[in-house]
Amino acid sequence: MKWICMYPNGDLYPCGKGCPAEFRMCNINDISSISQAFRTPGFSKILEASVARREKCRNCEIYDYCQGGCAVDAYYQSGAENPGGDSCRIYKAVFTHVKQEVDAIISEKKDLSAFNPMVREAVLRKLVNPMSGGPQERFSGA
């Protein structure tokens, strides 16, 4: 989990994306150290569900990019411990399209000067130091 959110009343949640009450970690006024928030039933519940979902996603061609997606999106779409749902379908479509475009840019040796500087830098990094055995090789684009 990479995020923490404090609501106006002091309640801590593992995400600011409209977490359900069952993922409430604690109230900031009830702890003396932030580490205590990560040893609560609410955090344990979302963490365990995320681990279970990621295990189910592990063989997906875009897993290296999305790492099982957002726990809150999964919760509302298919259950926090289950992959799938709209977010999953959208991520797959977007990553497939982006990969096809980047592969075409690389294979056709297109002039990168007109590209967005961030895109240009990412493509050049891949050309200079491709990750052998990494996401590019696992990702089929299908």
The full set of domain ranges for the chain reads 5-138
pLDDT score of 126: 67
pLDDT score of 128: 58
Tens of pLDDT along the chain (142 residues) come to 678 999 999 999 998 888 899 999 999 999 999 999 999 999 999 999 999 999 999 999 889 888 898 898 999 998 999 988 888 899 999 988 988 888 888 788 778 788 888 888 877 776 655 543 444 444 444 4
Chain center to CA of 116 = 23
According to DSSP, the β-strands at 26-27 and 5-6 are unpaired
DSSP code at position 18: -
